């Protein structure tokens, strides 16, 4: 999307949503009001922007992240499969990998 914005001759800006929301100080929240407030911050030069990395750097960052996410999912699936294989049920937790779920899981490991 950033590439397309630049190709169209515009300067892309990525804003820090938390800071922008604090600066807008609105009670009512709608897309229309948000757009007006963001435009006002931009016009005043106070829009809290975040640095956008160049495309190739973004790609370089994305590949290792995707690989790590895939490996993390693979390990979690293996742990779930092992729990099923040994009929270990941790019913008290919806997420076995939460802090409490991991503590409970450690009780089943010799």
| pLDDT tens, position by position, 40-74 | 999 999 999 988 888 777 777 777 878 888 999 99
Q: Give CA–CA dist 83/93, Å, rounded.
A: 14
Band (75; pLDDT cuts 50, 70, 90): very high
The whole-chain average pLDDT of the chain stands at: 86
The structural domains of the chain, with segments of one domain joined by +, span 1-52, 54-110
DSSP states along the chain? -HHHHHHTT----EE-HHHHHHHH--SS--HHHHHHHHHHHHHHT---EE----HHHHHHHHHHHHHHHHHHHHHHHHHHHHHHHTT---TT-S-TTSHHHHHHHHHT--
pLDDT exceeding 90 applies to what percent of the chain? Answer: 27
pLDDT tens-digit profile of 25-41? 777 888 999 999 999 99
Q: What integer pLDDT is reported at residue 66 of this predicted model?
A: 82
Q: What integer pLDDT is reported at residue 18 of this predicted model?
A: 87
Helix pair 17-24, 31-44: axis angle to 10 deg = 90
Q: Tell whether pTM > 0.95.
A: no
Band (9; pLDDT cuts 50, 70, 90): very high
């Amino acid at each position: 999307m950033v590439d397309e914005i630049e190709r169209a001759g515009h300067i892309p800006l990525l804003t820090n949503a938390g800071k922008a929301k604090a600066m807008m100080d609105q009670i009512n929240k709608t897309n229309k009001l948000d757009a007006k407030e963001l435009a006002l911050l931009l016009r005043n030069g106070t829009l809290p922007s975040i640095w956008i990395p160049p495309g190739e750097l973004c790609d370089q960052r994305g590949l290792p992240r995707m690989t790590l996410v895939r490996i993390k999912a693979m390990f979690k699936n293996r742990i779930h499969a092992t729990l099923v294989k040994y009929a270990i049920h941790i019913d008290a937790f919806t997420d076995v990998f939460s802090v409490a779920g991991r503590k409970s899981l450690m009780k089943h490991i010799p």
